[in-house]
Amino acid sequence: MRRDVFLRIVDALSNVYPYFQQRVDATGRRGLSPLQKCTAAIRMLAYGVAADAADDYVRIGESTTIEYLENFVEGVISMFQDEYLQKPNRNDVQRLLQMAEGRGFLGMLGSIDCIHWQWKNYPKAWKGMYMSGYRRVATIVLEVVASSDLWIWHAFFGVFGSNNDINVLDRSPVYDDILNDHAPEVNYTINGNNYTMGYYLADGIYPEWADTT
């Protein structure tokens, strides 16, 4: 993580949530700083280290580290979801369509694919739920829709089981708006045929649906 991104997160959390502010106890001794609290949480998220490992470099006990992690995740979602976890609005859709048209793909909203991330430090009790049969290791599958400028506007992560792109897609909310008739308005013409539904560019494992090419 870049330094400026990390400091932005620390500043945002410490300015809004008293939990991430430095406190002074009854003896006048200063408690942990916002940097220490956020560092402990991010280390667990980024490297999958055990909670008690934080004691070695930031002097935070196991139960406290877990508490910081839970509050960190809730705080980041609350602070940044409107900016980074939103679906494309009308202007975003038009920008995506223009980008795709410039590359010869009329009506394309992005590319969809999945990737297996090997999970090294998984809880032992969860191993069976995340084992990949042919890989013979525990993995977590990430499904993403991204544009050509690497804007990831859909991410579906953490489905348990021995998965491939298809059974992850079966559980994914990526097509919920289409099924509920809330899909963004799209109009384009190819070979004299008019279309009102955008589509995703996918590899050969995906089904030949109207919104997948």
207 falls within a domain: no
Both tokens assigned to 50: 């055990």
What is the full DSSP assignment across 152-163?
Answer: EEEEEEEE-SS-
Same domain membership, residue 180 and residue 116: yes
169 falls within a domain: yes
pLDDT band at residue 60, thresholds of 50, 70 and 90?
confident
Same domain membership, residue 79 and residue 94: no
117 falls within a domain: yes
For residue 192, what pLDDT is reported?
86
Same domain membership, residue 105 and residue 68: no
Give the residue among 182, 187, 184, 28 at the shortest CA–CA distance from 91: 184
Same domain membership, residue 182 and residue 159: yes
The residue segments making up the domain with residue 125 are: 90-201
151 by Cβ neighbours in 10 Å (0-12 / 13-18 / 19+) ranks as: middle
For residue 164, what pLDDT is reported?
75
Same domain membership, residue 96 and residue 78: no
Give the residue among 201, 143, 152, 151 at the shortest CA–CA distance from 172: 143
Question: What is the mean pLDDT of the segment spanning 87-96?
Answer: 88
142 falls within a domain: yes
Average pLDDT, the chain: 85
Both tokens assigned to 58: 């930031």
For residue 99, what pLDDT is reported?
92
Q: Which helix (H) or strand (E) holds 189?
A: strand 188-190
Pairing label, strands 199-201, 108-118: parallel
d(CA 93, CA 201): 15
44 falls within a domain: yes
What is the full DSSP assignment across 100-127?
Answer: HHHTT-TTEEEEEEEEEEE-SS--GGGG
Same domain membership, residue 127 and residue 37: no
% of the chain surpassing 70 pLDDT: 97
Same domain membership, residue 104 and residue 72: no
For residue 54, what pLDDT is reported?
72
Give the residue among 149, 138, 136, 143 at the shortest CA–CA distance from 115: 143
Same domain membership, residue 132 and residue 49: no
Same domain membership, residue 195 and residue 100: yes
208 falls within a domain: no
- The model scores a pTM over 0.85: no
For residue 161, what pLDDT is reported?
66
70 falls within a domain: yes
Same domain membership, residue 41 and residue 112: no
Both tokens assigned to 169: 């897609």
For residue 162, what pLDDT is reported?
60
Number of independent structural domains in the chain: 2
Same domain membership, residue 176 and residue 131: yes
2 versus 129: the higher-pLDDT residue is 2
d(CA 202, CA 184): 19
Q: Render pLDDT for 99-143 as a digit per residue (tens, 0 to 9).
A: 999 998 999 999 999 888 887 777 778 777 777 666 678 888 889
For residue 11, what pLDDT is reported?
95
For residue 35, what pLDDT is reported?
92
What DSSP character marks residue 203? Answer: -
Choose the weakest-confidence range: 31-35, 69-73, 80-84. 80-84
Same domain membership, residue 168 and residue 68: no
Q: Render pLDDT for 147-206 as a digit per residue (tens, 0 to 9).
A: 988 888 888 887 776 667 887 888 888 888 877 877 777 888 888 888 888 899 998 888
The dihedral sign for the CA sequence 196, 202, 208, 213: positive
